[in-house]
Amino acid sequence: MIKLRWKDKWIDYVSIEWSGTDNQCSRQLTITLPSNPYDKKFEQLSLALGDLIYLYDDKTQLFLGTITTREKSAEIGTAVFTAMDFMHHLLRSSGTYKFTKTTAEKMTKKVCGDLSIETTKLASTKANIPKLIFEDVSIYDMIITAYRKAKASTGLNYMPIMVGNKVSVIEKGMSSGVKLAQGVTITAAEYKDSTDNMIDMVKIFSDKGSKLGEVKEKKNIASYGVYQKVYQKEEGTDAKKAAKAMMVGITKEATVESIGDVKAISGYSIEIDDKATGLKGTFYISSDSHTFQDGVHTMSLELSWKNEMEQGKDEEDDIKKDLTNGAKCWYLESGSVYHSTTACPSCKGKKTKKSTVSKVKKIKITKGKNKGKRKYKPCSKCWNT
């Protein structure tokens, strides 16, 4: 039985939607309560912003969070409240840190502790990370970045979740224990595939910009063309293994609607057997929405064939932008490169001029043996080149 608690009392509800995704992993509770502002005998609950809300399945706590949004109207009927779990504090809080010779789990404990947020059951990687530098980056993205670097050594995917009011990091893709079957629990299903997220070539460079090699998926390149990314080799990391981990093939997704099961949530896997769409086997939940109304529990799940970890924001990924002629750029008159942002390390403490890529490309060298040639080239640190 699904129960809702506010302060020290169990409260009646019209409906509840409990939802989450496998990225930006703050779970959300949307509560619809009965409302009648004109009836003095009607018990109008005064839920306030910041109040704690608890969701239980019998004695098992499913959710603990704070009310972040209220929607009320003068009409008789309902009032809607939205609550977020404590992960949203990590998403909305940022910091500046420099870590050396640490592990993802130690770093997570440190940054959460600085926010007075406790941790529990942090996935143990034992992977030493030589250096991590963050400037005004969200605490959540710091955790994702650290565990992505650990993934290069462990080969595992990770995901932060909240256990009550404590931060935990799990191995992503673990079985939820849920099995869905056509004509038994599944009420509707849809399937699609796409090349929108494909990466079929990764070039490997040293920290000084020298090309060290590349990995590629020849079959996908022949069929769909080149979708390229760049990987900069890190100390103590198998560069080819890390580059291969960046590869993405055809993205296959499906949506399933079925009778609800509270164990089927984002970040975990389920078993499906649906002959109508051909969905059969293990799938990974990328998004879930559970609805509780009139004593009935239904759920809608977005599924993926591949267990992938959230990208996060690396120190350099934060500033890298796509190189197009219309893009804004900054350059030093005495320099030879142009930048996508003044946040680029090469610009710090220096006076830059603002322009566009197309205009900078027209600036020529006026003296010497290279007279007439283009003066500036794109900075490899801050452009996706």
Alpha-helical segments (H) within the chain: 87-92, 104-114, 139-154, 218-224, 239-245, 357-360
Confidence (pLDDT) at 296:
95
Domain ranges of the chain: 2-85, 89-171, 175-304, 321-384
Picking from 193, 240, 237, 242, the residue whose alpha carbon sits closest to that of residue 214 is: 240
The confidence band for 374, taking pLDDT boundaries of 50, 70 and 90, is confident
Confidence (pLDDT) at 315:
42
| More confident call, 53 vs 69 | 53
| 3-class secondary-structure state, position 87 | helix
Q: Quick check: 224 pLDDT over 70?
A: yes
The confidence band for 107, taking pLDDT boundaries of 50, 70 and 90, is very high
Residues of the chain above pLDDT 70, percent: 94
Picking from 19, 92, 23, 89, the residue whose alpha carbon sits closest to that of residue 55 is: 19
Confidence (pLDDT) at 18:
95
Mean of pLDDT over the chain: 87
Confidence (pLDDT) at 316:
42
Picking from 172, 162, 168, the residue whose alpha carbon sits closest to that of residue 286 is: 172
* Average pLDDT score over residue span 257-271: 94
| More confident call, 204 vs 319 | 204
The confidence band for 345, taking pLDDT boundaries of 50, 70 and 90, is low
Confidence (pLDDT) at 281:
87
Confidence (pLDDT) at 26:
87
| More confident call, 162 vs 369 | 162
* Average pLDDT score over residue span 270-278: 82
The confidence band for 385, taking pLDDT boundaries of 50, 70 and 90, is low
CATH architecture of the domain with residue range 89-171: 3-Layer(bab) Sandwich (3.55)
CATH of domain 2-85: 2.30.300.10
Confidence (pLDDT) at 356:
85
How are the residues of the chain apportioned to helix, strand and coil, as percentages rounded to the nearest 5? Answer: 15, 45, 40
Residues of the chain above pLDDT 90, percent: 48
Please report the DSSP string for 207-232 in residue order.
Answer: TTS-EEEEEE-HHHHHHH---EEEEE
Identity of the residue numbered 354? K
Confidence (pLDDT) at 166:
95
